[in-house]
């Protein structure tokens, strides 16, 4: 049986933000493998977040980030259930990190349903044109696949979370992890990104 050290638990806790006991349990189940344990925790946190999804989020905070060159600024509204959690250090850290994500990755909307229909149609038309040489019955499937891939770039929740060095976590996964850690439902409501000289 693999010995789970306090150092291993601390490393997993730092990487995931999960509680000490949850980390130890996941590491035991994963026989000491940090990657497997992190994935187990991610699934558990996703399930916890799903259970809280229908709770009202009437409190929250508007965070901001201005890139150090002073040329990009971001405002992000994140809602939660209580004012107490909105002032929590972990919530504020989440808000700051998401603001940095918006500055760095320039998403077009929070989710696919928030995308401008004209922009979606333009993207669809572009991809339709690029598959004209494919069999007619395959064209729609290929275009749908390309649009899904585009959503991963255009939609904040589906973007790869830039601070996840392993590149496995999306912003949506990061949100679920934070919900599980704080024990409250949270929603990224909207954001605004300003770039000097932009529209």
CATH number, domain containing residue 10: 1.10.8.10
The whole-number pLDDT of residue 68 equals: 83
Beta strands in the chain (DSSP E): 59-66, 72-80, 186-195
pLDDT computed for residue 170 by the predictor: 93
Q: What's the whole-number mean pLDDT along residues 117-139?
A: 87
Which residues, 6+ apart, have CB-to-CB distance to 42 below 8 Å? 16, 169, 173, 176, 177
Verify that 10 and 37 share a domain, yes or no. yes
Strand-pairing partners, residue 160, are 170
Q: Which of 14, 29, 52 is the last residue of a domain?
A: 52
Q: Which of 22, 43, 29, 23 is nearest to 1 (CA)?
A: 29
Asked if 46 and 82 sit in the same domain, the reply is no
pLDDT in tens, 20-75: 778 788 888 888 887 888 777 777 766 666 666 666 778 999 999 999 889 999 99
Q: Note whether 17 and 105 are same-domain residues.
A: no
In degrees and rounded to multiples of 5, residue 70 shows phi and psi of 70, 15
**Do 68 and 163 sit in the same domain of this protein?**
yes
The answer to whether position 100 is within a domain reads: yes
Q: Does 125 lie in the same domain as 99?
A: no
**74 assigned to some structural domain:** yes
Residues 10 and 38 in one domain: yes
132-157, pLDDT tens digit by residue? 888 878 888 888 889 889 999 999 99
Q: What pLDDT score does 3 carry?
A: 80
Cα angle 165, 167, 170; round to 5: 115
Q: Which of 18-22, 95-99, 163-167 has the lowest mean pLDDT?
A: 18-22
How does residue 12 score in pLDDT terms, banded at 50, 70 and 90? confident
With cut-offs at 50, 70 and 90, classify the pLDDT of residue 99: very high
Residue 128: inside a domain, yes or no? Answer: yes
The domain total for the chain is 3
Q: 127 pairs with which residues across the strands?
A: none
Domain span at residue 48? 6-52
Check whether residue 107 and residue 63 sit in a common domain: yes
Confidence of residue 87 (pLDDT cuts 50, 70, 90): very high
Asked if residue 27 is part of any domain, the answer here is yes
Asked, for residue 1, whether it belongs to a domain, the answer is: no
Residue of higher predicted confidence among 81 and 98: 98
């Amino acid at each position: 049986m693999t010995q789970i050290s306090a150092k291993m638990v601390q490393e997993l806790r730092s990487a995931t933000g999960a509680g000490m006991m949850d980390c130890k349990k996941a590491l035991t189940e994963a026989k000491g493998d940090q990657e497997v344990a992190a994935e187990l925790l991610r699934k558990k946190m996703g399930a916890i977040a799903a259970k809280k999804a229908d709770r009202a989020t009437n409190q929250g905070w508007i965070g901001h980030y201005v890139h150090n060159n002073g040329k990009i600024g971001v405002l992000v509204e994140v809602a939660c259930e209580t004012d107490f959690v909105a002032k929590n250090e972990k919530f504020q850290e989440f808000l700051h990190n998401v603001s940095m994500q918006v500055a760095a990755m320039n998403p077009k909307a929070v989710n696919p349903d928030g995308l401008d229909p004209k922009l979606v149609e333009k993207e669809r038309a572009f991809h339709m044109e690029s598959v004209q040489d494919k069999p007619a019955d395959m064209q729609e499937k290929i275009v749908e696949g390309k649009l899904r891939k585009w959503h991963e770039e255009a939609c904040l929740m589906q973007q790869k979370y830039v601070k996840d060095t392993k590149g496995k976590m999306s912003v949506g996964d990061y949100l679920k992890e934070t919900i599980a850690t704080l024990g409250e439902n949270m929603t990224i409501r909207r954001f605004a990104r300003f770039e000097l000289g932009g529209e």
